[in-house]
Structure 1
């Protein structure tokens, strides 16, 4: 298996690995940490999308640059805030 050639595809692969790690944490019962990790992955993806040149975006590009950055940032921040908004449940 060959590594992706474009920087954007490499960042996308790292983002995918981080999301899988977050889902694993959620499955193991650490849902706050897992959701926070997924949120960080999306914020990092938005940051990567903002700095990677257009000819190297690869799989990181979905729509236009502004749309990708706004959407990934919004999703990432929402997932980062979510664990703090839900109170601990007894039992």
Structure 2
């Protein structure tokens, strides 16, 4: 439960940064915490119940880390005006 709270708090912090106009930093924070969520899914023990039983751990890790890396790459590569 704590690991979910860490990821959610980081995502909220990133979205707040985007909302106040720091879009590049906010996107970096969102991407980083998506990757953190993927690493937590990889390292933490398997869930006994809930929605995590439906998907495989491999799928979750690949999607979360892949999306985190993509958001980080796009936030770095998009030119500033």
Q: Normalized against structure 2, the TM-score is what?
A: 0.88
Q: Is residue 50 from structure 1 mapped to residue 42 from structure 2 by the alignment?
A: yes
SS at 2:79 equivalent: coil
For 1:25 and 1:12, locate their aligned partners in 2 and report how far apart those are by CA, in whole Å. Answer: 20
- Structure 2 residue ranges without an equivalent (≥5): none
- Structure 1 residue ranges without an equivalent (≥5): 1-8
Give the aligned length.
80
Q: Normalized against structure 1, the TM-score is what?
A: 0.79
**Over alpha carbons, which structure has the higher Rg?**
1
Contact 1:49/1:57 (8 A) holds in 2? no
State the partner residue of 1:74: 66
| Alignment root-mean-square deviation, CA | 1.9
For 2:49 and 2:32, locate their aligned partners in 1 and report how far apart those are by CA, in whole Å. Answer: 19
Runs of 4+ that moved beyond 6 A: 56-59
For 2:49 and 2:74, locate their aligned partners in 1 and report how far apart those are by CA, in whole Å. Answer: 29
